Amino acid sequence: MPLSRSLSMTSLSGVLPAWEEEELPVEDLLLFEVAWEVTNKVGGIYTVLQTKAKITVDEWGENYYMMGPYYEHNFKTQVEACEPPNPAVRKAMDALIHNGYQVHFGRWLIEGSPFVILFDIGSAAWNLDRWKGDLWETCQIGLPYNDREANDSVILGSLIAWFFKELIDQLGDTPNVIGHFHEWQAGAGLILSRCRKIPMATVFTTHATLLGRYLCAGNADFYNNLDKFNVDKEAGERHIYHRCCLERAAVHCAHVFTTVSQITAVEASHMLHRKPDVVTPNGLNVKKFSAMHEFQNLHTTSKACIQEFIRGHFYGHLDFDLDKTLFFFIAGRYEFTNKGADIFLESLSRLNYLLRVHKNDMTVVVFFIMPAKTNNFNVESLKGQAVRKQLCSSMPNATPKPPGKTCNRTHCGDKQDKGRALATTDGDTLESTRIIFHPEFLSSTSPLLPMDYEDFVRGCNLGVFPSYYEPWGYTPGECTVMGIPSVTTNLSGFGCFMEEHVSDPAAYGVYIVDRRFRSAEESCNQLTQFMFSFCQQSLRQRIIQRNRTERLSDLLDWRYLGRFYVHARHLALNRAFPDKFKMDPMAPLKTEGFRYPRPYSVPASPSASVHSTPHHSDVEDDDDDDYEPYDEDEEAERDRLNIKAPFVLGDVQEGK
């Protein structure tokens, strides 16, 4: 689903650097993108494929196809079956079908509606032993019988290589086929296609190295020892040697090797022994609003929904002012160390101390949105939500106070009755930070917190993602597009990307914790200081910062970032068919960097006399000391100075 942003904000539309590279003759080419997560949601690659589909279809039209495994439930719910428009594709599919294999074709029901070709692995399982033998004879990679995922990848790869062989035979003298393979599960298809000398251009993208993820999950000092790891020994000890061999073979067989970030490029150079040719950052499909300052209104609306949940969750002991409460959150897989939950918890303890010592009346409620095994809902939480709804619905219609504030007083009660209302409280009532662990994905149908993830993010004040291992990191990117400040690290692809593009990321609401060149103690103190400084901001300062954060949306739009994929494809065609496709392989990407324009109509923050948001959930502070003037020319000049040229893959510091 496209993430929305306001059209009233300063935009890069029309001023992005011109793409000077020669256009590819897409009408004479066929592009196939191969991944395990085509119509099959497993992880972040699904998001990459889904959001990038629209711009790729716009460029390639009916010459763009996605390929992956067939799952009956996914096909029935996500794909509309149809006939291939290209007769060569139809005949290649028929060749497999006539040999007893099931191949399905249709349109994936996402934005752009790309064609998908899905191969039924189960229908070909009887050939597994023969194809594993072919893989061994071809490149001496053996697979254990009990690794089902690796075995399935060989079946899928063999079917895809067979399909490409039939397709090239049908196309004749002018094949001009590009195969773009994602991750090691799709790597077998690339390896077999190259070993059989099928004339096609190939691109391989790794979104994270296999061994890197395993090592970081084991608490290894990964980035300071990249050049010291015995890759084969480490993979063997973790029983993934055969998978790493598939990954490494695919990397070295591909005409062009790409990865998603600079930090992963450094990792891949050591783990896979090949330096990526192109860095292809992950983007988002950004949809624009037409109403002025709409994203600020959405923040207020969503924040009110979160406040309603808080009233029920802390029913009977709501001893803090919701108008002076900030909502922080962390979201992702339940990888305690990799996702930085450990350093986040320690920093929250230190933040709590600082808020109390400085007598700051702000309360911080922190959500941990990390799916984990659960048995049922917390009964006390459900009771609190039910009582809250009953109280608010039974209040008299005429009340001198806003209903929300009346509910606050009712839920809290006076001090004498608080003990009778709830015998136990969640810790010391003087604590300034409160933590809520939500061990499942957010859904608007949940009886506890009925909000979709996008609405929840919009209602929060700060996203905190202090990851140790994060090849890209969609969560802070989603925050940026929605105008919500976030904390990331220089060990995440997103953090590296922002450091390359923005001179002062913190001014735009992107705080980057140094976890690469600092100790854990120093990183923890830095994160604590970021959060404490954020808590000291006034309402107006937070509004201005949200506007500045939202101005960076175009940096993450696939309409810009998709050009890195265009460059990778052109480079692959040049290496596969040098006589037909000319380009200087050593030339950098021909972009001129960003030139942020002066705002077209309205400033990216409210003027001194007009609120950008018709209604506020916070209490506006009229103290002149908190007033921060907004000057349109100064903001435009800030952008010109801070937004830098896009990066190209180059030398990166290694270790401390």
Contact 363, 310 (CB under 8 A): no
**Which residue ranges of the chain lie beneath pLDDT 50?**
1, 4-16, 290-292, 398-403, 406, 409-429, 591-627, 645-656
Confirm whether 286 is domain-assigned.
Answer: no
Confirm whether 472 is domain-assigned.
Answer: yes
**Are both 269 and 310 inside the same structural domain?**
no
Contact 43, 35 (CB under 8 A): no
Question: The CATH number of the domain where 547 resides is what?
Answer: 3.40.50.2000
**Are both 237 and 215 inside the same structural domain?**
yes
Q: Quick one: which of 234, 233, 287 has its CA closest to 111?
A: 287
Confirm whether 641 is domain-assigned.
Answer: no
**Are both 244 and 319 inside the same structural domain?**
no
**Are both 480 and 365 inside the same structural domain?**
yes
Q: What's residue 634's pLDDT?
A: 66
**Are both 534 and 505 inside the same structural domain?**
yes
**Are both 218 and 265 inside the same structural domain?**
yes
Confirm whether 174 is domain-assigned.
Answer: yes
Contact 431, 422 (CB under 8 A): no
Rounded Cα distance, 263 and 654, in Å:
10
Q: What's residue 21's pLDDT?
A: 52
Confirm whether 424 is domain-assigned.
Answer: no
Eight-state DSSP code of residue 334: S
Q: What's residue 644's pLDDT?
A: 59
The beta strand positions in 254-362, using DSSP E, are: 256-259, 278-279, 286-288, 325-331
* Boundary of a domain, candidates 514, 533, 555: 555
Rounded Cα distance, 615 and 515, in Å:
39
Length of the chain: 656
Burial 424-439 (b: 16+ CB within 10 A, else e): eeeeeeebbbbbbebe
Rounded Cα distance, 141 and 242, in Å:
7
* Boundary of a domain, candidates 253, 279, 305: 279
Quick check: helix, strand or coil at residue 251? helix
**Are both 239 and 349 inside the same structural domain?**
no
Eight-state DSSP code of residue 364: E
**Are both 238 and 370 inside the same structural domain?**
no
Burial 22-31 (b: 16+ CB within 10 A, else e): eebebeebbb
Quick check: helix, strand or coil at residue 308? helix
The pTM (predicted TM-score) of the whole model is: 0.81
Strands of the sheet with 363-369, listed across from one edge: 433-438, 363-369, 325-331, 462-464, 486-489, 510-513
**Are both 269 and 342 inside the same structural domain?**
no
Strands of the sheet with 256-259, listed across from one edge: 79-81, 103-108, 115-119, 64-69, 30-34, 177-182, 201-206, 256-259, 278-279
Confirm whether 345 is domain-assigned.
Answer: yes
Q: What's residue 333's pLDDT?
A: 85
Rounded Cα distance, 213 and 222, in Å:
10
* Boundary of a domain, candidates 220, 251, 279: 279
Range of the domain at 264: 26-279
Rounded Cα distance, 164 and 251, in Å:
19
**Are both 37 and 154 inside the same structural domain?**
yes
Q: What's residue 99's pLDDT?
A: 94
Rounded Cα distance, 643 and 501, in Å:
5
Rounded Cα distance, 264 and 258, in Å:
10
Amino acid symbol at 458? R
Eight-state DSSP code of residue 322: G
**Are both 330 and 234 inside the same structural domain?**
no
Rounded Cα distance, 453 and 110, in Å:
19
Confirm whether 603 is domain-assigned.
Answer: no
Quick check: helix, strand or coil at residue 113? coil
- Planar angle of CA 110, 116, 122, nearest 5 degrees: 120
Q: In this structure, what is the dihedral angle of CA atoms 192, 197, 200, 203, given to the nearest 10 degrees?
A: 50
> For the segment 45-66, what is each residue's pLDDT rounded down to a tens digit?
998 999 999 999 999 999 999 9
Q: Is 396 exposed, middle or buried (0-12, 13-18, 19+ CB in 10 A)?
A: exposed
- Planar angle of CA 414, 417, 423, nearest 5 degrees: 125
Q: What's residue 200's pLDDT?
A: 95
**Are both 267 and 343 inside the same structural domain?**
no
Confirm whether 97 is domain-assigned.
Answer: yes
How many structural domains does the chain have? Answer: 2
